[in-house]
Amino acid sequence: MDYKKSSAPASTVTRDVRKLEAPIGNVYETICIISRRANQISTEMKEELDSKLEEFATKTDTLEEVYENVEQIEISKMYERFPKPSSIAVQEYVDGKIYYRMTEDKKD
């Protein structure tokens, strides 16, 4: 999923809980599914940001070598403008783009 092209809102949106839980029938399982997807998205975003910022990392830290890097600041600001991973996950869930399966507990 390319979160850069996500239609998720960047600000807070009030959702109807009954509509969110309708496909599964349990609000807690719905939240669990959405939260697991949000964790996946967050991890992907962090790994990508870290890889982009790694080229700006200095191997030695001295006071003389500390300076502002405009490109590094712009990359960080770009990632701050993206919607939050939880908003992206909720939007994916509403759009039906999340695959999940329910496993049944086997009782003997």
Output the tens digit of pLDDT for each of the chain's 108 residues.
Answer: 566 677 777 777 888 888 888 888 889 999 999 999 999 999 999 999 888 888 777 665 555 555 667 788 888 888 888 888 999 999 999 998 888 887 776 565
Residue 11's SS3 state is coil
pTM (two decimals): 0.77
The Cα 20–Cα 98 span in angstroms is 13
- Residue 46, pLDDT score: 92
- Beta-carbon count within 10 A of 90 CB: 24
The Cα 47–Cα 65 span in angstroms is 26
